[in-house]
Structure formats: structure tokens, C-alpha cells
Structure 1
């Protein structure tokens, strides 16, 4: 019989929980670190999003750390 061990809070081997998946909807206002404010114009499932930043339309792969929903 194998004893189950309780993980220690100070262990360097503890992995942080993954961040929740980003969910975007058409018409949602977003902010990008480089492009600024924009509107979501299309969503391709959970893999990509198309955003209109006013001066350009960008197709961004998800997850995108620099894209924030407002």
C-alpha cells in the first residue's frame, strides 16, 4: 500500500493553477498592449479572435496575454 503524501505549501515543485481560458464575444470591447482599444468582430472558437482597432483589423491567436477584455 502506498501512502498518499500531502503537498507542502512551500514546496518548489507545486505548480500554480492555470489561468482561466479567455472567452470573447462579438461586439465586446477589448484592450491590447500594442494596438490599444478595439472591438471584437469575429471569434473562431477558442483558438482565435479578430479585433477592429480602428486603424487596422488584427487576427489574434488565443490565448493572448496582451489582450484584455474590458
Structure 2
């Protein structure tokens, strides 16, 4: 018996079931000013592969990638 996942069907270009394109993850650097949907304005303190540490004035939080709710100003 063969495994169903071993034989994938080709996807047609006009298929309504095609996967959504991945959004590009925005790049941040230490010192960048940012706006977060929940926490407001802040400044990036440090960045690593898994996320960024951001100082929002009253608190310093680590924001994980992808940065869906955070934009660079």
C-alpha cells in the first residue's frame, strides 16, 4: 500500500485551492523606530534570528518573527 502524501497532485494555476503566498518578513535593525498594533510606538533594542527586543517606553518586550503586527517607521 502506498502513502497518499508520496504522490502529490499537480496544482493548476487557476485553482481556487492554491496556497497563499507567504508574506515577506520585514527586516529590523537596532535603533529602528517601530509601531506595534497592541503596544504602540517603540525602538528596537536588539535583533536575532527568532525575533526582536523592543523598548516601548514603559516596558521592554520580545516580539517573535514574523512581525505581523509591527511596522517600521
Per the normalisation by structure 2, the TM-score is 0.75
Unaligned runs of 5+ in 1: none
Unaligned runs of 5+ in 2: 1-9
SS in 2 for 1:27: coil
Q: How does 1:1-70 map to 2 (within 5 A)?
A: 7-9=12-14, 11-45=15-49, 47-70=50-73
Q: How many residues align?
A: 64
Moved runs in structure 1, 4+ residues, more than 6 A? none
Per the normalisation by structure 1, the TM-score is 0.78
Structure (1/2) with the larger helix percentage:
2
